[in-house]
Amino acid sequence: MEWKPHITVATVVEDHGRFLMVEELKHERAVLNQPAGHLDPNESLIQAAIRETFEETGYDVELTGVIGIYLYTAPSNGVTYQRVCFAGKALKHHPDSPLDTGIIGPRWLTRDELLAQRDRWRSELTLLCIDDYLSGKLFDLSLIRPSV
C-alpha cells in the first residue's frame, strides 16, 4: 500500500470574537470546520487558502499570517493530512456566490458556541487551530516560500 499524505489548507477568520466556520455535509452528517480544502495543482498554499475560503463561504479574505502546520491522521479512514492553517480577515461577503458541493453555508460562532458542539467538529483540528490562533503565536506569511 502506498502512503500519500494529503496537503490541505485552512483559514481562521475572526471578527469581534466570532469565527467564520463552514457547516458542511460529511457522510450525510452536518459538521463544522474552518474553511479548508486541498491544494490544487500549480497553486500556492496562499492561493489555495484564499480560494477555499471563498468557495466554501462566499467571503473574500486577506491572509494575515500562518498559525501552524499540522499533521493529522483521520481515525475514520486512516488518511493522513498535512494542514497549513492561516489567519485571515474578512474583506467582503458575496452572499449570492454559489458554494462548493456539500457546503450548507458559512456560520459565525464564538469559541464557546463551537465548544458546545464538539460532536459536530469535522476533526480535532477545528478547535486546535482556533486555540493556537488565540494563543497569539502567528508566523509571518513569508514562512510560506514560493515554488522554485
Whole-prediction pTM value?
0.94
Supply the pLDDT for residue 1: 62
Q: Pick the more confident residue, 137 or 90.
A: 90
**Cβ neighbours of residue 109 under 8 Å, at least 6 residues apart?**
18, 19, 21, 32, 117
Q: Which CATH class is domain 6-143?
A: alpha beta
Q: Compute how many other C-beta atoms are within 10 angstroms of the C-beta atom of residue 57.
A: 28
Contact 108, 20 (CB under 8 A): yes
Total number of residues shown for the chain: 148
Contact 129, 10 (CB under 8 A): yes
What number is the average pLDDT over the span 7-18? 97
Per the structure block, which three cell numbers stand in for 97? 456566490
pLDDT tens across 72-121, in order? 998 888 889 999 999 999 999 999 999 999 999 999 999 999 999 999 99
Supply the pLDDT for residue 146: 77
Supply the pLDDT for residue 75: 87
Supply the pLDDT for residue 134: 98
Q: Pick the more confident residue, 41 or 147.
A: 41
Contact 129, 70 (CB under 8 A): yes
pLDDT tens across 13-64, in order? 999 999 999 999 998 899 999 999 999 999 999 999 999 999 999 999 999 9
